[in-house]
Amino acid sequence: MRVLMISKACLLGTYQRKLEEIARLPDVELMTVVPPAWHDGSRVVRLERAHTAGYALVVEPIAFNGNFHLYFYPRLGRRLRAFAPDVVHIDEEPYNFGTFHALWMARRAGARVLWFTWQNLNRRYPLPFRWIERYNLRHADYAIAGSAGAAKVWREKGYTGPLAVIPQFGVDPDIFTPRPGEPDPGRGFLIGYVGRLVPEKGVDLLVEAVAGLSGMWRLAIVGEGPERNRLEMLAQHLGVAERVFFEGGLPSVRLPAFYRELDVLVLASRSRPNWIEQFGRVLVEAMACGVPVVGSDCGEIPGVVGDAGLIFPEEHVEALRGHLLDLMRERDLWADLARRGRERVLAHFTQAQVAGQTVEVYREIGKSANQQIANCKS
């Protein structure tokens, strides 16, 4: 079975491990199309060729780079005709023009098509995106939702075809590994955050929470975004600037080493009218590294963490601070959550598991196509 995946997310090297796991399965010949880079606001995400064994990773130019709703691959039709895939996996939301363009081109090429979604809020989009969404819901052969919440949204919106709930990516437990041995107790308690510096991620709540901590602690913040200056000023105002370190963005392949230095990772997301947390991938990356996690009850976070971490109510700074104090003081709790987090990832969130579930979708699409051909001949 020939599969063409279209995925700007696979610019990141750690995400490419899923592609290698898909390609390892005997009945799949995989080609993945990525742009040369993606302009994410002021940040440019460039292609990291880190895990490319067993499949073809090809670069295609895109139009409207950085415009999430309008971008598309102008030469995709040529690529489809040359590769002649059986299945086209569009790793993109069904309300975007790029999904419509790829789906329309794939159907013209005679391929079966699926799209992926994280969207877990039932939002009504303006024209022409409402028309685009309607077309994509009616003409896809399959859909993959990253969470049960996202699956519910698209059923409410009228998608009636086959749908599987599979995370977009897992983690490789041989790359995201716990640190060997115990950390040096003299270095203090290291708290971490990884992600965009935007209001909805609640990094300001984290800074406020740590400002009330006693003892030896530091906060390392990895990421870029429009909130950075305000967060730096907040740390200065609260008198903790010398303990709060802004590391900037890190390449995805360097994140495992960063996680292994942490004592806890925090994701303090807050809901917005047009956004709630869709998954919180950094949680499973940290858990795989044996790092306890603390998250708010925003969106999908409690379902991702399960009983392998600590959850606090959105916006509740005192509750977040209390969880951090518990982890600083109770070594048995820290060790228990470190163990549970790693076990939860191994049970539910590895790249091999995600790849296997995704390929099973491809096989179901193939069986459906073969049955339709048989019905037409009979």
Domain count of the fold of the chain: 2
Which residue from 7, 14, 91, 98 is spatially nearest to 57, judged by alpha carbons?
7
* Distance between CA atoms of residues 43 and 222, nearest Å: 14
Check whether 186 has a pLDDT greater than 80. no
How confident is the model at residue 105, as a pLDDT? 97
Give yes or no: residues 265 and 156 share one domain.
no
- The answer as to whether 100 is a domain residue is yes
How far apart (Å, rounded) are the C-alpha atoms in residues 235 and 204? 9
Copy the structure tokens of residue 133.
């969404």
Question: Do 152 and 204 sit in the same domain of this protein?
Answer: no
Strands 87-90, 56-59: pairing kind:
unpaired
- pLDDT of residue 357 exceeding 90, the answer is yes
Q: Which domain holds residue 326?
A: 185-348
Instruction: Assess whether 59 and 123 both reside in one domain.
Output: yes
How is residue 145 written in tokens?
Answer: 């939702």
Does 219 lie in the same domain as 357?
no
Q: How far apart, in Å, do the first and last CA atoms of the chain sit?
A: 24
**Dist CA 265 CA 255 (whole Å):** 12
Element of type H or E holding 294:
strand 293-296
Tens-place pLDDT, residues 22-70: 999 999 999 999 999 999 877 899 999 999 999 999 999 999 999 999 9
In a domain, 359, yes or no: yes
Look up the CATH number of the domain holding residue 267. Answer: 3.40.50.2000
- Give the model confidence (pLDDT) of 58-106 as tens digits: 999 999 999 999 999 999 999 999 999 999 999 999 999 999 999 999 9
**Domain contains 280:** yes
**Predicted pLDDT of residue 375:** 53
Let me know if residue 179 belongs to a domain.
no
Question: What string of DSSP letters covers 133-200?
Answer: HHHHHHH-SEEEESSHHHHHHHHHTT--S-EEE--S--B-TTTS-PPSS---GGG-EEEEEES--SGG
Structure confidence by residue, pLDDT tens digits, 98-130: 999 999 999 999 999 999 999 999 999 999 999
* Predicted local confidence at residue 183, as pLDDT: 67
At residue 371, the pLDDT reads 60
Mean pLDDT of 125-150: 95
Q: Please determine, for residue 373, whether its predicted confidence score (pLDDT) is greater than 60.
A: no
Same-domain check for residues 362 and 321: no
Say whether both 195 and 133 belong to one domain.
no
298 shares its domain with 331: yes
- The predicted pLDDT at position 369 comes to 64
Q: What angle do CA 132, 138, 140 make, to 5 degrees?
A: 95
Give yes or no: residues 135 and 69 share one domain: yes
Residue 177 in domain: no
Question: In this predicted structure, what is the pLDDT of residue 370?
Answer: 64
Output the pTM of the full model. 0.89
CA–CA–CA angle 361, 367, 370 (5° rounding): 145
Asked if residue 176 belongs to a domain, the reply is: no
Under 8 Å between Cβ of 198 and 227: yes
Dist. CA 50–CA 189, nearest whole Å:
32
C-alpha distance from residue 373 to each of 108, 367, 370 (Å): 17, 10, 5
**165 and 18, same structural domain?**
yes
Task: Read off the tokens for 367.
Answer: 């069986």
Separation between Cα atoms, residue 262 and residue 218, nearest integer Å = 10
Q: Could you report the per-residue pLDDT of 294-345, keeping only the tens digit for each?
A: 999 999 999 999 999 999 999 999 999 999 999 999 999 999 999 999 999 9
Q: What is the pLDDT of residue 41?
A: 79
Is 220 found in the same domain as 111?
A: no
Assigned domain for 262 exists: yes
Residue 17 in this model has a pLDDT that exceeds 70: yes
Indicate if 340 and 360 belong to the same structural domain. no
Summarised one tens digit per residue, pLDDT across range 332-353 is 999 999 999 999 999 999 999 9
pLDDT above 90: percentage of residues in the chain: 90
Q: How confident is the model at residue 372 (pLDDT cuts 50, 70, 90)?
A: low
Model pLDDT, residue 325: 97
- Which amino acid is present at 146? G
Of residues 25, 21, 23, 29, the one with CA closest to residue 2: 29
159 in the same domain as 35? yes
Name the pairing type of β-strands 43-46 and 37-40.
Answer: antiparallel
Within-domain flag for 175 = no
